[in-house]
Amino acid sequence: MNVMPPSPRDWHDHASLASAVVLITLVALVALHGHGPLAIYALSFWHYVLYWLAYRHGAVAMRVFKRDAVMMKTVSLVALGFAYFATPLDALSLAVIAGGFALNSVAARALGADRTYYGHELNDLPHQRIMAFPYGWVSHPMLVGNIAAFGGTLLNAPFRDDWWPLATLHIALNFGLLAMETAVTPLRGGARAAHGVVGSTAGLRRRALPTRVVGVTSGAIIGAILGAHLGAIPGAIVGAALLAHTVVIYFCYTLPSSPPA
């Protein structure tokens, strides 16, 4: 029986998962050696990068994006939970957090899993105006819920004193996603055709190059900063892992799949 070898795209789809697992493992090991706070920061924001790349470039399969985004968002929330529940609890803060994440969950259910993960941009789902609650009441309720939840953590004074940069970055990045979804045109479907790049893999690769340069540079800067704080050996480990993961996900999320016939 002839077995077809895996296509480059098959390897491409698994690379981001393998890279994330290696990153999480190495950072967790460093955290166990007394660098918990920096490990939390190192693992908290990757899903925002995935959202941007998937939305803007539309070059990753939706199933791959869903898998990666769910995993990295879960890791981010677990990291936040470690930080938050290590401080004395505050009833008002917990209520606002619960309300924010409840709004996010209800909105995701109304939108549906595929549309939640950019099914229109990545999978060419037809445009549809969702009016089910809470969309008829609040614009962008998922992001509003996230902003409320992360803002709610700041109502807890002990958490705010130690972790305000973590919560503030989450809030700022959710505002960034809101700006992206309202002001940035994704290169998918008609948008790609308008840019004259449908069917031109070489053209998309050229367009992706500046993004990869930015990604590699950003990863190097983040790795250098964390390396300076962690010390020589753990810093080198985390810095290298961050840089490598940045490179991998930028290539995986900006390298286009085969053009349509």
Rounded to an integer, the average pLDDT of 64-68 is 92
Rounded to an integer, the average pLDDT of 55-78 is 92
Report CA dihedral (218, 67, 128, 196) to the nearest 10 degrees: 50
Give pLDDT, residue 37.
87
Rounded to an integer, the average pLDDT of 234-248 is 78
How do the domains of the chain map onto residue ranges? Answer: 8-254
Rounded to an integer, the average pLDDT of 180-198 is 58
What is the full DSSP assignment across 134-160?
TTTTSSSHHHHHHHHHHHHHTTSHHHH
Name the pLDDT band for 181 (thresholds 50, 70, 90): confident
- Spatial separation of the C-alpha atoms in residues 80 and 87, rounded to whole Å: 11
Name the pLDDT band for 128 (thresholds 50, 70, 90): low
Give pLDDT, residue 235.
64
Give pLDDT, residue 198.
37
Confidence check: pLDDT of 193 > 50: no
Q: Which residues contact 226 (CB under 8 A, 6 or more apart)?
A: 38, 41, 42, 235, 238, 239, 242
What is the distance, to the nearest Å, from the Cα of residue 257 to the centroid of all Cα atoms in its chain?
20
DSSP state of 107: H
Single-letter code of the amino acid located at 216: V
